[in-house]
Amino acid sequence: MTSIYSQQPCIIRENARGYERIQIEDELMQNREIFLTDPVSPDTMNSLLKQLMFLNRDDPAKEIILYINSPGGEVQSGIAVFDYMKLMSAPLTTVCIGTAASMGAILFLAGSRRIMTRHSRIMIHDPAPGGGSLEGMKPAEIEKRLENLKQTRDVICGIIAEAAGRTLEEVMSVTCEDSWFDAEEALQYGLATEIMGSQKGAGQI
């Protein structure tokens, strides 16, 4: 039978009891470094929320670093975690290490420091309707769904506007379609605060 440890990256440490096998994610967690590298869903957000809560309670004054490489996903679960991120006492640094798209980008914006690697990208856009067809729905039901969608758009655009120092109108003109930003563009627009290793806004973790 294959051990679960053989399926996960591990390190070997020597201690008083001999040699101990430690999963790399556990080691990074001890250093207050956590990851979002999957789509945003209720399951991934529950896991992320538990990690954030633990680290915030463990040391409310010590920095947490969240690395993001996510295509985005379900809005309400992501917003719930975003709200908690903004309430934490512990300083939060977010790092885009590939792509932070859609709700992944919104979670990236929760950091007080928002660092991008040189070739990472961010994508922001208006929220799309959830699953389910409009076929067979009554006009009032369609109007209600559209109203809910507009309210969600206002929340998303408000988050972007506050983080980037832009007006709501400026943001809505950009999010009406998929808008991609490389690291330099994200820095100039206000989505990122630093670019890792650059002379301009050089981010060091």
Exposure pattern of 125-144 as b/e (b: 16+ CB <10 Å)?
A: bbbeeeeeeeeeeeeeeeee
C-alpha span between 200 and 192 (Å, rounded): 12
CB 45 within 8 A of CB 34: no
CB 91 within 8 A of CB 63: yes
Cα 97-99-102 angle, rounded to 5 deg: 135
Coil, strand or helix: which one is 26?
A: helix
The set of catalytic residues is: 102, 125
C-alpha span between 80 and 119 (Å, rounded): 29
Neighbouring residues of 93: CB distance < 8 A, sequence distance ≥ 6: 63, 64, 65, 66, 111, 112, 113, 114, 115, 205
Instruction: Name the token pair of 172.
Output: 């809505």
